[in-house]
Amino acid sequence: MAQSKGTVVLAYSGGLDTSCILVWLKEQGYDVVAYLANIGQKEDFEAARKKALALGAKKVYIEDVSREFVEQFIWPAVQANALYEDRYLLGTALARPCIARRLVEIAQHEGAQHVAHGATGKGNDQVRFELSCYALCPEIKVVAPWRMPEFYQRFPGRRELMDYAKKHGIPVPVTPQTPWSMDENLMHISYEAGILENPKNQAPPGLYTKTCDPANSPDAPDVLEIKFERGVPVKVTNTGDGATRSTALELFVYLNDIAGKHGVGRIDIVENRFVGMKSRGIYETPAGTILYHAHLDIEAFTMDREVRKIKQGLSLKFSELVYNGFWHSPECEFLRECIGRSQEPVVGTVRLSVFKGQVYILGRESPRSLYNEELVSMNVQGDYEPADATGFININSLRLKEYHRLQSKVTVKQDE
């Protein structure tokens, strides 16, 4: 038996990889405390607890962080209209700092000097986990087996992991593994690797689990009214059956159900990982997609144009920081404060339709609206003098006239 190296808190999923890592860490001399975050994934948590204890974990923490995930991580992303590279709603990137925060708290409570995770050495999650851990506890030491030669040379492929599992009594799934990897939380599920690594391959029909095929979705829409305060959804009402939800977690789960039923929230993209390579990912983000469209609409209705231009730039940087793992950085904290301040006037209700894979905005109202119906009307002059537009156009055309006058001179000289 290896010499004792102290206690390590392992971010445990209950799957084959982290189960093998748990046993391997014990072989290396660590006392292992397993931590499984309930962040909204479909999981038999009691079975996972028993499995970890049977494999030698000295203690198992199963922590329900779903509510704080919604209120402290998803809501700031909704306020920001956060999108990475114009398409990705950041479901995994938002979950990692939430999981890592509790991982560090457990390590401190247990007096452990080490934490460990099962993220691969090629992906973003290793960065997200570890930057969060180091930010929250600078003296912590991270054990990352998939970056350690003694681990990845011993387990170059899944077959070697399976053999190790059988040798050490680690339960091996009896059902065939899907030919891709999945990661699920309350906000989304991601699919990558395996047959999906060829970006030309279409996602097989049986891949999606959170949303139905839009072609087979109901032939009647669900019409929802979503109320916002300070850019955060506080109530959803289904105008069809009168159902309402007003607590953060219940509201989000309900929107997941409605969007999933109508096939809303699927994307298939190639993105740029922070570590420098492109990767292909397929994502389902049902509730997040509805809220993105709804918030975008109420924000445009209530926010000053120039403030919104600045806020859009902040949102772009915020999305990049979150994707790259810098949630717990001073710059990301600063951006969250700025974006939160911009949301004070973002109050009101958006009415929308969810139907056949799409979200359609139907209307909006707000006590903080900057929309002046009389001013914009084609039928009423209101407090606006059309003749003033002549000077406005003349001033704005001056730059264009001068630019093209100079270009004409340059062209003539070049032709001489």
Instruction: Report the SS3 class of residue 385.
Output: coil
Which residues are CB-neighbours of 371 under 8 A, at least 6 positions away?
301
* Total count of residues recorded for the chain: 416
Q: How far apart are CA 357 and CA 342, in angstroms?
A: 31
CA 160 from chain center: how many Å? Answer: 32
Query: How is residue 125 written in tokens?
Result: 């999650």
Q: How far apart are CA 99 and CA 246, in angstroms?
A: 25
Q: How far apart are CA 33 and CA 49, in angstroms?
A: 11
Sheet holding 348-355, edge to edge: 244-245, 232-238, 222-229, 348-355, 358-365
Q: Which value, in Å, is the radius of gyration of the alpha carbons in the chain?
A: 26
Instruction: Report the SS3 class of residue 37.
Output: strand
Q: How far apart are CA 398 and CA 95, in angstroms?
A: 51
Give the DSSP H or E segment for 236: strand 232-238
Query: How is residue 39 written in tokens?
Result: 């962040």
What residues are labeled active site?
Answer: 17, 96, 125, 181
Picking from 233, 232, 231, 289, the residue whose alpha carbon sits closest to that of residue 258 is 289
- What single DSSP character describes residue 92? H
Query: How is residue 322 written in tokens?
Result: 């979150």
Alpha-carbon torsion, ordered 280, 283, 288, 290, to 10 deg: 110
